[in-house]
Amino acid sequence: MKNIAVIGAGTMGNGIAHTFAQFNYNVQLIDVSQTALDRAISIITRNLDRMIAKEKISEKDKKQTLSNITTFTSIKEGVKYASLVIEAASENALLKTNIFKELDEVCPEDTILATNTSSISITQLAAVTKRPDKVIGMHFMNPVPIMKLVEIIKGYNTSDDVMDFTIELTKEINKIPVKVNDYPGFVANRILMPMINESIETLYNDVAGVREIDDIMKLGMAHPMGPLQLADFIGLDVCLSILNVMYDGFKNPKYAPCPLLVNMVAGGKLGIKSGEGFYDYTSSKKSEKVAKMFL
């Protein structure tokens, strides 16, 4: 188990690739866009340089990590020798379903198929394959190289052997695996997203402003980041997608997205990635200037 393929070169994909490569796994990073792949390697390089500056790794470690990553624009070519494939594409059920169908066709029969989904059913993705016992969830936290937690999600048909193997593999890359079962939102987002949604509702109902809501949660509840700032960091489109998955799965109104969140996403105010969300990031990703609400 030394060949790990990662599908998707975005924020999560490049972080997962970085982490496995740093622990001397051969990583095949796959994306349909060569531009996205080039950007991912650039980001990984910058992150490694930061680690050198903090004296956490050496220049030799950086070179070795980068040499462990090979990029591909073809799934078929990239997964040819993979023992494990981790899908880290956008949080879209149809897209992930199509990827899993293709992976099942082109991967070796014994390859384990994992998804980094934060809310979509593992059982649903496994159902489109001929290897449902070898499909599992590995929900990494952002930023992947730093955050220790990985939710390991057991689908309805995931075998105990695959579950045990994935848990041990997660420990080998110095992460802490936590086993959960396959229900909408799993554990992390089932608890986190209603809090974020309620914070947006509080703003929407004019109970308090953006900064006030975040300060109360940081100063009063010891959260390192306020819920609205965290929503910007995650991406408001991602928050909306996860809430929709949970609302569809449970049919419980407590998961219904706040109209303000829906409007902001429709208006292109997605948080850090778009330069504006609840805060204004046009001058700096650490900006504390409150963005104009999109109502």
Q: Do 177 and 195 sit in the same domain of this protein?
A: no
Locate all alpha helices (DSSP H) within the chain, ordered by sequence: 11-22, 34-53, 59-67, 75-78, 93-106, 122-126, 160-172, 188-204, 210-221, 227-234, 236-250, 259-266
CATH number at residue 196: 1.10.1040.10
- pLDDT at res. 285: 64
pLDDT value for 294: 40
Q: How many Å apart are CA 119 and CA 158, to the nearest integer? A: 17
Question: pTM of the predicted model, to two decimals?
Answer: 0.90
Grouping H, G, I as helix, E, B as strand and the rest as coil, residue 286 is coil
Do residue 78 and residue 16 come from a single domain?
Answer: yes
Q: Is residue 286 assigned to a domain?
A: no
Range of the domain at 202: 190-274
Tell me, yes or no, whether 232 lies in a domain. Answer: yes
Cβ–Cβ under 8 Å, residues 154 and 161: no
Q: Is 221 exposed, middle or buried (0-12, 13-18, 19+ CB in 10 A)?
A: exposed
DSSP string, 194-237: HHHHHHHHHHHTTSS-HHHHHHHHHHHH--SS-HHHHHHHH-HH
For residue 131, being part of any structural domain is answered with yes
Question: Does residue 171 share a domain with residue 209?
Answer: no
What is the reported pLDDT for 287? 56
CA distance 198 to 14: 31
**Residue 283 has what pLDDT?**
80
From first to last of its 295 residues, what are the pLDDT tens digits of the chain?
689 999 999 999 999 999 999 999 999 999 999 999 999 999 999 999 999 999 999 999 999 999 999 999 999 999 999 999 999 998 899 999 999 999 999 999 999 999 999 999 999 999 999 999 999 999 999 999 999 999 999 999 999 999 999 999 999 999 999 999 999 999 999 999 999 999 999 999 999 999 999 999 999 999 999 999 999 999 999 999 999 999 999 999 999 999 999 999 999 999 999 999 999 998 876 655 554 444 3
Position 289 scores a pLDDT of: 54
In this structure, the answer to whether residues 58 and 171 fall within a common structural domain is: yes
Query: Residue 286: its pLDDT value, please?
Result: 63
* Polymer length of the chain: 295
Where among 158, 181, 204 does a domain terminate? 181
Task: Please give the span between the terminal C-alpha atoms of the chain, in angstroms, as a whole number.
Answer: 50
Q: Which residues carry out catalysis? A: 118, 139, 151, 189
Identify whether 157 is part of a domain.
yes
* Type of residue at 28: Q
Q: Are the C-beta atoms of 133 and 162 separated by less than 8 Å?
A: yes
Q: Using the 8-state DSSP alphabet, how is residue 4 labeled?
A: E
CATH code assigned at 125: 3.40.50.720
Looking up tokens 């390859």 gives 111
* CA nearest to 155, candidates 178, 129, 136, 127: 136
Distance CA 142, CA 167 (A): 19
